[in-house]
């Protein structure tokens, strides 16, 4: 169910409530942990839906994991999406440990991978807003402004869709409304 959308240079930024594992897009983002070994929340749901070949690929290609603020690509395996971009967001430690830059970096890494893989559509989760404890209003603002900035530049992407759970909708809706006021 689409909650809100915005057009930026003939590109769409959407907010929807749904299940990211069923999105019919070129790639999905995963709110992964640095070890890239699966976990709970979105990460666990993606691993379950993608099937065991996902973990085999991660172990083979990314045995050392990836640092916070970065992302790596794998195949989509049993998902409808061709690619999964495993982004590692920061654990909230009060805001004085570079969390904002790391969170923006995780989103930028997914966007960069989308361009490198020639993706026209990308679905993203609310990175770091679950068990990592990032304050929802700040996390949503960073996510929306980072993606909007990318969509205003040179990119292969035509659609970026934030796929949210009900609890994350209000902060994302507010961030999108604030973006509308800036233009």
Residue 168's pLDDT is: 82
> Residue 151 has which token pair?
């969509």
Beta bridge mates, 159: 12, 121
| pTM for this predicted structure | 0.96
Residue 181's pLDDT is: 65
- Alpha-carbon distance of 28 to 78, in angstroms, equals 13
Low-confidence residues of the chain: pLDDT under 50 = none
- Alpha-carbon distance of 52 to 156, in angstroms, equals 30
Measured distance between the N- and C-terminal CA atoms of the chain, rounded to whole angstroms: 25
> Residue 8 has which token pair?
């930026």
Residue 1's pLDDT is: 79
Which among 10, 26, 43, 166 is annotated as catalytic?
43
> Residue 70 has which token pair?
């970065």
Burial of residue 95 (number of CB atoms within 10 Å: 0-12, 13-18, 19+): exposed
Domains in the chain: ranges and CATH = 2-182 (3.40.220.10)
- Alpha-carbon distance of 165 to 181, in angstroms, equals 25
Residue 183's pLDDT is: 55
- The answer to whether residue 101 is catalytic is no
Beta bridge mates, 162: 15, 124
- In this structure, the number of other CB atoms found within 10 A of the CB of residue 88 comes to 28
Q: In 3D, which of 116, 110, 117 has the Cα closest to residue 161?
A: 110
Residue 87's pLDDT is: 98
Classify residue 168 by its DSSP letter.
G
Task: Provide the H-helix boundaries in the chain.
Answer: 41-50, 52-61, 99-116, 136-151, 169-182
């Amino acid at each position: 169910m689409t909650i809100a959308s915005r057009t930026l240079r003939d590109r769409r930024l959407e907010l929807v409530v749904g299940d990211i594992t069923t999105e019919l897009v070129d790639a999905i983002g995963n709110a992964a942990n640095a070890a890239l070994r699966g976990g709970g929340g979105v990460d666990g749901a993606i691993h379950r839906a993608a099937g065991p070949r996902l973990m085999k690929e991660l172990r083979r290609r990314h045995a050392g994991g990836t640092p916070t603020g970065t992302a790596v690509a794998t195949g989509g395996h049993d998902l409808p999406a061709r690619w999964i971009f495993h982004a590692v967001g920061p654990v909230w430690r009060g805001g004085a440990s570079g969390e904002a830059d790391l969170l923006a970096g995780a989103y930028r890494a997914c966007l960069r991978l989308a361009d490198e893989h020639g993706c026209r559509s990308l679905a993203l989760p609310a990175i770091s807003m679950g068990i990592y404890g990032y304050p929802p209003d700040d996390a949503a603002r960073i996510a929306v402004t980072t993606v909007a900035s990318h969509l205003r530049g040179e990119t292969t992407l035509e659609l970026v869709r934030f796929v949210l759970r009900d609890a994350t909708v209000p902060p994302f809706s507010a961030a999108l409304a604030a973006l509308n006021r800036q233009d």
